[in-house]
Each structure stands twice: as C-alpha cells, then as structure tokens.
Amino acid sequence: MIKPKAKVVHYTEIPAETIGDSAPGATMRWLIDKEKDGAPVYALRMVELEPGGSSPKHTHPYEHENFIVGGQGRLFVENKWYDLQAGDVAFVPPGVLHQYVNAGEEVLRFLCGIPV
C-alpha cells in the first residue's frame, strides 16, 4: 500500500471512467482512493449519469454515502423509489438492492463514499 498523502485537485482533472454496458450513460471519477492516494478507510467517487443514464440494479457488501451535487434523479432502494435533487443526501445500506437513474435533462452528479 502506498503511504497516504495530502491531495488537492479539481474533480474534472481526474479522468472519468465508463462503468460498462450495464450502466448506460454512466461514468465514475475516483476522487480519493486507496490505490492512488493511500486512503486507509474511505474512498470518494464522483458518479455522473447522462440524461437517460442509469446504474444497474445491484447489491454489494458495503454501504454508500451519497451527496447529490447537481441534476435530478431517482434512487431505488429497499423496494422504494426516491426523487433526488441537488443538496439531497442518501444512505444505501450494505446488501440492499439499489439503482440510480437520471430523471432530468442535465447530467446527474453525485458524490459516493464507500469504505476501502
């Protein structure tokens, strides 16, 4: 593991990576992570969904902490849909089926924190 070091950078300087065929119109920027930054506990990502874009419905063994930066969307979690807009926060518990969908006409951007 690399030694943790301070980092200050504008998020747009970090390349956006496509998520894959199961997530049309979705990209992710690893803002802070274990591999590149040596973050020992927490990773921070910027997820961007183009209009009409979405993540797949999926589960995993860790939680998400989300802050909606811009745009409008919907979050499916615990068998219920929630509307999302800038300023909203959402917590997705581990092991729960969830999906993010852009429900607006501009890019949906949200910060997503996960344990490393």
- Residue 82 and residue 50: Cα distance in Å, rounded? 18
Per-residue burial over 33-42, b if 16 or more Cβ lie within 10 Å, else e, is bbeebebeee
Q: What is the pTM of this model?
A: 0.92
Q: What is the pLDDT of residues 82-93, one digit of tens each?
A: 999 999 999 999
The answer as to CATH 2.40.10.220 being correct for domain 29-104 is no
Tokens of 59: 């589960």
**For residues 73-84, b (16+ Cβ closer than 10 Å) or e, as one string?**
bbbbbeeeeeeb
Q: Work out the average pLDDT over 27-39.
A: 94
Task: Write out pLDDT tens, residues 51-69.
Answer: 999 999 999 999 999 999 9
How confident is the model over 34-54, as pLDDT tens digits? Answer: 989 999 999 999 999 999 999
